């Protein structure tokens, strides 16, 4: 089994254990706790919270959605671009802060690690799109507001009650 597959399986097991032991609340604290378990796989990666990111008014920031197309079709963060789009023209983001995100931060953490190894100015979005939603920020589908968010799977459905988790 390839190393990335083994790593993903181990991460899923850690999440399942934490999810079972959690109080059942869909809280930002639960998102943050799960995110911290992922950080073990990319400890050198720097991250940025939604609050800190918003304080920058998203100026000189490129949000890169590393989720697959099925997840992105449900919704994404307004103004973000796909990983594929970013990789077609990475030079257009020279001098800008690159902030990858996924559901909770694992896949984007691995991608941020890759970008940092390339010398890019990158930070992982701590808690991913789940943290974005807990900060009551909008998500869009086809440039229209929505409250549906692809959460990868039932165990990751840690959205606030004002959002609908899809998997």
Instruction: Give the integer Cα–Cα distance in Å for 90 and 155.
Output: 33
Asked if 151 and 167 count as a contact pair (C-beta separation under 8 A), the reply is: yes
Asked if 45 and 124 count as a contact pair (C-beta separation under 8 A), the reply is: yes
The DSSP string of 42-74 is STT--EE-HHHHHHTTTTTEEEEE-S-HHHHHH
User: What is the total count of domains within the chain?
Assistant: 1
What pLDDT was estimated at residue 88?
A: 95
What would the two tokens of residue 38 be?
A: 């992922």
Q: What is the dihedral of CA 63, 61, 26, 109, to 10 degrees?
A: 60
Asked if 127 and 35 count as a contact pair (C-beta separation under 8 A), the reply is: yes
Structural domain for 84, as ranges: 3-166
Q: What is the pLDDT along the chain (167 residues), one digit of tens a residue?
A: 444 443 343 344 344 333 433 434 568 999 999 999 999 999 999 999 999 999 987 889 999 999 999 999 999 999 999 999 999 998 888 889 999 999 999 999 999 999 999 999 999 999 999 999 999 999 999 999 999 999 988 889 999 999 999 99
pTM over 0.75: yes
The CATH code of the domain that includes 122 is 3.40.250.10
What pLDDT was estimated at residue 9?
A: 39
What pLDDT was estimated at residue 77?
A: 98
């Amino acid at each position: 089994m390839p190393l990335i597959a083994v790593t993903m399986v181990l991460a899923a097991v850690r999440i399942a254990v934490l999810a079972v032991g959690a109080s059942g609340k869909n809280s930002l604290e639960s998102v943050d706790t799960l995110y911290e378990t992922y950080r073990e796989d990319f400890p050198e990666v720097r991250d940025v919270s939604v609050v800190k990111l918003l304080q920058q008014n998203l100026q000189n920031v490129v949000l890169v959605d590393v989720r697959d197309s099925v997840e992105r079709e449900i919704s994404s963060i307004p103004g973000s671009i796909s990983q594929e789009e970013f990789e077609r023209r990475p030079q257009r983001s020279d001098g800008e802060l690159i902030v990858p995100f996924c559901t909770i931060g694992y896949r984007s953490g691995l991608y941020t690690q890759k970008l940092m190894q390339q010398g890019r100015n990158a930070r992982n979005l701590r808690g991913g799109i789940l943290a974005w939603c807990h900060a009551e920020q909008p998500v869009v589908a086809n440039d229209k507001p929505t409250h549906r968010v692809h959460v990868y799977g039932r165990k990751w459905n840690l959205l606030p009650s004002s959002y609908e988790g899809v998997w």
